[in-house]
Amino acid sequence: MPSDLEIAQSATPRPLPEIGERLGLTDSDLEPYGRHAAKVELEALGARRPSGKYVVVTAITPTPLGEGKTATAIGLTQGLGRLGLNASVALRQPSLGPVFGIKGGAAGAGYSQVLPMETMNLHLTGDFHAVTSAHNLLAALVDNHLQQGNVLGVDPHSIAWGRVLDMNDRALRNIVIGLGGRLDGVPRQSRFDITASSEVMTILSLATSLEDLRARLGRVVIGFTRDGRPLTADDLAAGGAMGVLLRDAIRPNLLQTLEGQPALVHGGPFGNIATGNNSIVADHVGLSRSDVVVTEAGFGADLGFERFVNVKCRTSGFVPDAAVVVVTVRALKLHSGKHRIVAGKPLPEAMLAENPEEVRAGLANLGHHLDVVRGAGVPAVVAINAFPGDHGSEHRVIEEYAAARGVRCAVGTFVAEGGAGATALAEAVLAACGDGTDLRFTYPLEAGIRAKLTALATKVYGADGIEIAPEAARQLARAEELGFGGLPVLVAKTHLSTTADPKALGAPGGWVLPIREVRLAAGAGYVYALAGTMQTMPGLGANPAATHMDLAPDGRVVGLF
């Protein structure tokens, strides 16, 4: 089978106006960026009422290689198209950090991809750069305020607003700025996070209009004054300029699947650090102009799906009709505890051997994520992302387990066959959409922050409770004293386990969730806690994807995967 890049480069994209027509968009609704990507004007949001079916794709706890949620979402969209439905897919934009790091590209796989693959993975229309600039503009204004006399009385030790960069660079996790002479700034400790974890990125994804975007930017809290008052971006007169930088970025990007369905690619918050979902405005465009919109929530159901429900759906008011839980044989064998997978290295030979019992031994993890989805009142469908080396007996173990749980299940060969390999999954999803959703949130907003964190730990992660470090307890208490106790909460934790320990496989019980830090994201509209040793700036591995990329003499990108 050709590589993903070879498949993408050999494809002939349909004219972009044709893709727009499938959404009822005219030339005046689109601003082309090149020949095969365009910005969708925000006026398209109010033209029609959202009425399409809403399907979210989540997964079990992934291996370090990922289990193909994006490919599943694209393949399912193509499969729905094969059934005669007007379907669209709404996805996050890939971050350059993972693209050049371990993961590689995130435009799908094989014959279930978004085109142009290089455009989607490399800059697209510049939204990430706009987010980076807006975030760093606020950081620069904070430090300039200190330099110019600090008339607001900012406590430098309280400043929580670092800088961001859309690259994996562990050397920037902890830095000292302002070194040099008197005119070079006020020396203090700071940090860099990756752009995908920026609160500005989440604001972009949750904003429902330009006005909402501007208001959220103004509410960003960067630190505190010496008398304990929270200091916002608007206190520094920064919110307006940040909005100016994001004026174009708030508009969704229109691309297409390999089979010509509309692909709305917009926003890119990380699923283990931030909300892990694409933008509300992209979903709005799709839901008002498609029979079905398929969207993807980052990592497992304990992360992206939980935030999809408790944060995104709370904000948008949209209710999902079904949730697809992606599972692979290799992931279940990993969760059996019999194997170890290392990113960048081939799978162990023993893992490729036919062994239904190892698959059965890992089913507890699938069960955990099905419980999370069903706990939210959303009908679930298990999608088996089939790999060429899988064995039918191993798929049957999963199918029998799903049947015993009363959950629909389908094997998908969409990576090798495109939409033709996803029609059975599409039929199962459409049937699940008819079951009806009774959307339930994990916690009420009026509960305290501690109670909300406990609810996430016990109901979603399977912990016995939480353990809050002393400094985190002080941060939590301050957030509540300042009136932020009614916000949703989320936990930044490892995506490699339902627990806070990346080495804990399966669905462990008898553990406590450690909360080491509590941060406020007032602009985005939530409080988030860091569990364990979670990093907000990833690092590069020993064999980064960047070292395999190059330009051919004719200007083609090679080595992108």
Question: Do 131 and 159 fall within a single domain?
Answer: yes
Q: Which domain holds residue 150?
A: 127-245
Q: What values do phi and psi take at 336, rounded to 5?
A: -70, -15
Beta-carbon-side half-sphere exposure of residue 524 (alpha carbons within 13 Å): 27
How far, in Å, are 215, 306, 323 from residue 59 at the CA level?
34, 12, 9
Q: Does residue 543 belong to any structural domain of this protein?
A: no
Question: Do 424 and 301 fall within a single domain?
Answer: yes
Q: Does residue 547 belong to any structural domain of this protein?
A: no
Q: Which residues of 225-255 are buried (b: 16+ CB within 10 A; e: fewer)?
A: eeeeebbbbbbbebbebbbebbeebbbbbbb
Round to the nearest angstrom and report the end-to-end CA distance of the chain: 14
DSSP E strands in 200-302: the ranges are 221-224, 230-232, 253-257, 262-265, 292-296
DSSP E strands in 146-215: the ranges are 163-165, 175-177, 188-190, 192-194
Report the CATH number that the domain containing residue 212 is assigned in CATH.
Answer: 3.30.1510.10
Question: Do 270 and 407 fall within a single domain?
Answer: yes
Q: Which two tokens stand for residue 292?
A: 């079905």
Question: Which amino acid does the sequence have at 190?
Answer: S
Count of domains in the chain?
3
pLDDT of 243 reads 98
Q: CA 103, CA 113: separation in Å to the nearest integer?
A: 16
Q: Which two tokens stand for residue 417?
A: 């066959």
Q: Does residue 78 belong to any structural domain of this protein?
A: yes
Q: Is 288 in contact with 42 (CB distance < 8 Å)?
A: no
Question: Do 151 and 189 fall within a single domain?
Answer: yes
Q: Which two tokens stand for residue 60?
A: 């079990």
Q: Which two tokens stand for residue 433?
A: 């959409």
Q: In which element (H, E) is residue 77 found?
A: helix 69-82
Q: Is 308 in contact with 277 (CB distance < 8 Å)?
A: yes
Question: Do 84 and 158 fall within a single domain?
Answer: no
Q: Which residues of 289-301 are buried (b: 16+ CB within 10 A; e: fewer)?
A: bbbbbbbbbbbbb
Q: Does residue 8 belong to any structural domain of this protein?
A: yes
HEC string of 467-487 equals EECHHHHHHHHHHHHCCCCCC
Give the angle 487-189-222 at the CA atoms, nearest 5°.
30
Q: Does residue 157 belong to any structural domain of this protein?
A: yes
Burial class, 481, CB count within 10 angstroms (exposed 0-12 / middle 13-18 / buried 19+): exposed
pLDDT of 110 reads 95
How far, in Å, are 285, 449, 463, 466, 474 from residue 469 at the CA level?
43, 14, 17, 10, 9
Question: Do 305 and 453 fall within a single domain?
Answer: no
The domain boundary residue, chosen from 219, 245, 271: 245
Q: Is 282 in contact with 289 (CB distance < 8 Å)?
A: no
Report the CATH number that the domain containing residue 486 is assigned in CATH.
Answer: 3.10.410.10
Question: Do 69 and 80 fall within a single domain?
Answer: yes
Q: What are 517-559's pLDDT values in tens digits?
A: 999 999 999 999 999 777 888 888 888 888 888 888 988 888 8
Q: CA 198, CA 268: separation in Å to the nearest integer?
A: 10
pLDDT of 560 reads 83
What is this structure's pTM?
Answer: 0.95
pLDDT of 185 reads 93
Q: Does residue 228 belong to any structural domain of this protein?
A: yes
Question: Do 153 and 94 fall within a single domain?
Answer: no
Q: Is cis: bond before 116, omega within 30 of 0?
A: yes
Q: What are 166-215's pLDDT values in tens digits?
A: 999 999 999 999 999 999 999 999 999 999 999 999 999 999 999 999 99
How far, in Å, are 42, 151, 229 from residue 237 at the CA level?
26, 13, 16
Q: 3-state class of 395 per DSSP?
A: helix
Q: Is 331 in contact with 362 (CB distance < 8 Å)?
A: yes
The domain boundary residue, chosen from 245, 276, 295: 245
Q: CA 476, CA 528: separation in Å to the nearest integer?
A: 10
Pairing of strands 175-177, 188-190: antiparallel
pLDDT of 346 reads 84
Q: In which element (H, E) is residue 72 found?
A: helix 69-82
Q: Which two tokens stand for residue 90?
A: 């709404």
Question: Do 28 and 116 fall within a single domain?
Answer: yes
Q: Among the residues of 362-469, which ranges form H helices?
A: 363-375, 392-404, 414-417, 423-433, 449-455
Low-confidence spans in the chain with pLDDT less than 70: 103
Q: Is the sign of the CA dihedral 208, 213, 219, 221 positive or negative? A: positive
Q: 3-state class of 114 per DSSP?
A: strand
The domain boundary residue, chosen from 189, 220, 245: 245
Q: 3-state class of 143 per DSSP?
A: helix
Q: Does residue 551 belong to any structural domain of this protein?
A: no
Q: Does residue 55 belong to any structural domain of this protein?
A: yes
Q: In which element (H, E) is residue 222 found?
A: strand 221-224
Question: Do 286 and 424 fall within a single domain?
Answer: yes
pLDDT of 48 reads 79
Question: Do 177 and 187 fall within a single domain?
Answer: yes
Q: What values do phi and psi take at 171, rounded to 5?
A: -65, -15
Q: CA 423, CA 414: separation in Å to the nearest integer?
A: 9
Burial class, 182, CB count within 10 angstroms (exposed 0-12 / middle 13-18 / buried 19+): exposed
Question: Do 187 and 333 fall within a single domain?
Answer: no
Q: What are 453-498's pLDDT values in tens digits?
A: 999 999 999 999 999 999 999 999 999 999 999 999 999 999 999 9
pLDDT of 533 reads 79
